[in-house]
Amino acid sequence: MGGGRGCAAWTRHQLADLMRLFLPPCCPLCDQPLGAKDQDGFCAVCRDAFRLLASPCCPRCSLPYAAADGSDHLCENCTRQEPPFVWAAAAAHYEGALRDAVQLFKFGRRLDLDRPLAALLLAATGERIRAFAPDLIVAVPLHAQRLRQRGYNQAQLLARILAKDLRLAAPARLLRRVRPTALQQGLPRQERHRNLRRAFHAQGAVAGRRVLLVDDVLTTGATLSACSQALLDGGAAAVAAVALARTSRQARLLDV
């Protein structure tokens, strides 16, 4: 009986693939048919619901500011302690339709969202990525225990598509999470950093390389900082990072 349930689950994923092949393409969020101009995989209504990240924000960690804050400037945290990454950029604010998409992708096994979300990420950050000129792409890893539970690493799925579009390699094992950690959600900033201390280890193949790090959501930057430091300790020449979504101060107060 257990094998039957596994087969049924597998069939649902294959059926979704077949539907995409033989039926007109639809938006993965609202199921409305896509138009000829919907090249990134989302319909115009859902795409317009994403609030893209724009100035003013911190040029180092992309923390968004209220319009009253004026032009881009370093945030308090980046001023007090310089992060190990050259910069971290995000596509849009972690809210509304994009938050729903990320949650479905990350926890709802909606693997069909990988390409439209990667297209959104590349469209928003591609210019900055190309200026950084990475040698390879590395995803923020899951610990083996959590990877077994979830079955996939959503950041690695994004990294693979970015790598294909940018004609780069995205090795899955250059950066490893060597110890399990508590979930970051709900932890204060300092606790997030302590939670991730010595949690990552980079293999020697990163030595001398410019690395683009990929994650789904950027909150305080603790995860990207810990991964970037591990890559630098492993000999990487420089690390920049991209994420689908960026939380704001207000969202963090609500423990998004």
How far is it, in rounded angstroms, from Cα 31 to Cα 204?
45
Classified as helix, coil or strand, 256 is: coil
Q: How confident is the model at residue 2 (pLDDT cuts 50, 70, 90)?
A: very low
3-state secondary structure 34-86: CCCCCCCCCCHHHHHHCCECCCCECCCCCCECCHHHCCCCCCHHHHHCCCCCC
How far is it, in rounded angstroms, from Cα 52 to Cα 245?
9
Q: What is the mean pLDDT of the chain?
A: 83
Do the bridges between strand 136-139 and strand 210-218 make them parallel or antiparallel, or are there none, so unpaired? parallel
Ordered by start, the domain boundaries in the chain are 1-49, 56-253
Lowest mean pLDDT among 8-12, 20-24, 64-68, 129-133: 8-12
Q: What is the pLDDT of residues 213-231, one digit of tens each?
A: 999 999 989 899 999 999 9
- Does residue 186 carry a pLDDT above 70? no
Does 22 or 103 have the greater pLDDT score?
Answer: 103
- Across 88-92, 107-111, 218-222, the highest mean pLDDT is recorded for 88-92
- Does residue 4 carry a pLDDT above 60? no
Q: How confident is the model at residue 110 (pLDDT cuts 50, 70, 90)?
A: very high
Q: How confident is the model at residue 146 (pLDDT cuts 50, 70, 90)?
A: confident
Q: Cite the beta strand spans of the chain per DSSP E.
A: 88-93, 136-139, 175-177, 200-202, 210-218, 238-246
**Amino acid (one-letter) located at 218:** L
Cβ atoms of 63 and 93 closer than 8 Å: no
- Whether cis (ω within 30° of 0) applies to the bond prior to 24 is no
How far is it, in rounded angstroms, from Cα 53 to Cα 42?
18
Q: What is the pTM of this model?
A: 0.82
Greatest Cα pair distance, the chain, in angstroms, is 62
Q: What is the DSSP letter of 169?
A: B
Does 47 or 181 have the greater pLDDT score?
Answer: 47
Fold observed for domain 56-253: Rossmann fold (3.40.50)
> What pLDDT is stored for residue 23 in this prediction?
67
